[in-house]
């Protein structure tokens, strides 16, 4: 049996989990999330503890068991605490500026500033001009938006300039050998 799938999910105070067949909706202090789970798993809520069980031992059911449990656990944690990814910008003249919580203006060495629009449920913050914090309640969406920002100017291997995750290690290349 899946080690991850059989772990129960404790529901913190202030968070409600509603199950309607394969549709799971979670409501908490930061918002609400909903997701349809595959038919190979069943979700039940007993005494503010969520259990995810699979229907049989087929290969697909075993694969969906741990995945579905993790998706529900991420939803519960997201509406209770939220998620955030921090990006750092390395390079001379490279900077970021948040326009409210819905827009981010990036100067990344192009001839024009790049403006990134935040999808619903995502907020941008810039504690310093070289740091961008992407936050929200949906872990998948926070990670995707952060990856899209990083994709605009990936860290290059010679000088390390570009947008990277906080703590990401960029392998540097030697460059040209001088005479």
Count of domains for the chain: 2
Token code pair at residue 72: 């529900």
Please, is 13 exposed, middle or buried when counting C-beta atoms within 10 Å of its C-beta (0-12, 13-18, 19+)?
Answer: exposed
Same domain, 95 and 156: yes
Same domain, 98 and 62: no
Helix axis angle, 139-152 to 59-80, nearest 10°: 90
Structure confidence at residue 1 (pLDDT): 53
- For the chain, the straight-line distance linking the first and the last C-alpha, in angstroms and rounded, comes to 62
CA–CA separation, 88 and 111 (whole Å): 21
Structure confidence at residue 177 (pLDDT): 80
Structure confidence at residue 102 (pLDDT): 87
CATH of the domain at 57: 3.90.930.12
Same domain, 95 and 129: yes
Q: Domain range for residue 149?
A: 83-165
Q: Could you tell me which of 49, 44, 53, 42 has the C-alpha nearest to residue 11?
A: 49
Q: Are 27 and 11 in contact (CB under 8 A)?
A: no
Same domain, 96 and 134: yes
Structure confidence at residue 35 (pLDDT): 95
Same domain, 31 and 93: no
Structure confidence at residue 80 (pLDDT): 95
Same domain, 77 and 89: no
Which residues in the chain show pLDDT less than 50? none
Q: Are 139 and 146 in contact (CB under 8 A)?
A: no
171 domain residue, yes or no: no
Same domain, 96 and 157: yes
Structure confidence at residue 32 (pLDDT): 95
Q: Could you tell me which of 146, 158, 22 has the C-alpha nearest to residue 96?
A: 146
Token code pair at residue 154: 């990936």
Structure confidence at residue 2 (pLDDT): 62
Structure confidence at residue 36 (pLDDT): 96
- Residue 152 neighbours by CB under 8 Å, 6+ apart: 106, 108, 114, 116, 163
Structure confidence at residue 100 (pLDDT): 79
């Amino acid at each position: 049996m899946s080690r991850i799938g059989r772990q129960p999910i404790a529901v913190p105070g202030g968070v409600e989990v509603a199950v309607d067949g394969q549709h799971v909706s979670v409501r908490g202090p930061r918002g609400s999330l909903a997701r349809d789970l595959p038919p190979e798993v069943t979700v039940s809520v007993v005494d503010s503890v969520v259990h995810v069980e699979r229907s049989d031992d087929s290969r697909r059911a075993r694969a969906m068991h741990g995945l579905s449990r993790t998706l529900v656990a991420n939803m519960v944690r997201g509406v209770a605490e939220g998620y955030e990814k921090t990006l750092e910008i390395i390079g001379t003249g490279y900077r970021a500026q948040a326009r409210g919580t819905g827009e981010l203006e990036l100067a990344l060495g192009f001839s024009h500033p790049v403006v990134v629009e935040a999808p619903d449920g995502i907020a941008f913050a810039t504690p310093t001009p070289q740091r961008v914090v992407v936050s929200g309640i949906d872990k998948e969406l926070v990670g995707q938006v952060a990856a899209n920002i990083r994709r605009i100017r990936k860290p290059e291997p010679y000088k390390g300039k570009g947008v990277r995750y906080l703590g990401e290690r960029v392998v540097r290349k030697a460059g040209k050998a001088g005479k």
